[in-house]
Amino acid sequence: MRKPWCRPALSILLSAVGVAGGWAAPSAPAELTIVILEGEEGVNVLKKKTAVRPVVEVRDRNKAPVAGATVVFLLPQYGPGGTFLDGGKMMSVTTDASGRAAASAIQPSGTGAFKINVTASFQGQTASAAISQANMAAAAAGGVSATTIGIIAGVAAAAAVGIGVGLAGGKKESAAPADTAPRATIGVGSGPVFGPPR
């Protein structure tokens, strides 16, 4: 005679094996996505008080624009970044008929790379993205991307550490002979510069 607890126990066991064996139903595609249209790798110039305005488009699972979605742009609380025209670090915008939302002009502050966090919500669905930008004290000749600024900042920091270590060691380096051929150095935004060896 079959015991009454066998059937529920068997169904629980099969459910557990199904989940462990990967029999679970495939997950649904993301309901919302944020596409960055403008502002990625933007370089803001403190001296000129200019900044690259971020613009995004919100799309549904069929990649169609979503009108009426709420988009929040959030600037970093500390370090390089800036404020929106109202002086705040956060701005909320509703997407237009084409699913697009643009933040107001940013007043940049601090030098260096940073990210603008973006979130979108519509009828209980959410999505998030980040826009990489950088602030410079003055414009560089030929234009420099936010990634390049981050690399330059990293190299400068490493060089400063190296100089500190060299000074702490107390060793003096001998000067190079005067008849050594000149070496080329490369500066940001300019071509090679030739001069006497260092």
Which of the pair, 50 or 29, is modelled with greater confidence?
A: 50
Burial of 109 (0-12, 13-18, 19+ CB in 10 A): middle
Most confident of 4-8, 14-18, 83-87: 83-87
- Calculate mean pLDDT across residues 21-28: 51
pLDDT tier at 161, thresholds 50, 70, 90: very low
pLDDT recorded at residue 39:
96
The yes-or-no verdict on residue 24 having pLDDT over 80 is no
Taking only the tens place, the pLDDT of each residue in 59-102 is: 999 999 999 999 999 999 999 999 998 999 999 999 999 999 99
Taking only the tens place, the pLDDT of each residue in 95-149 is: 999 999 999 889 999 999 999 999 999 999 999 999 999 999 987 655 555 555 5
Range list of β-strands (E), the chain: 33-38, 42-45, 55-59, 70-74, 81-84, 90-94, 100-102, 106-109, 112-122, 125-136, 183-186, 192-195
The yes-or-no verdict on residue 14 having pLDDT over 50 is no
Superfamily for domain range 33-148: Macroglobulin (MG2) domain (2.60.40.1930)
75 SS3 class: coil
Hey, where are the domains in the chain? 33-148
129 SS3 class: strand
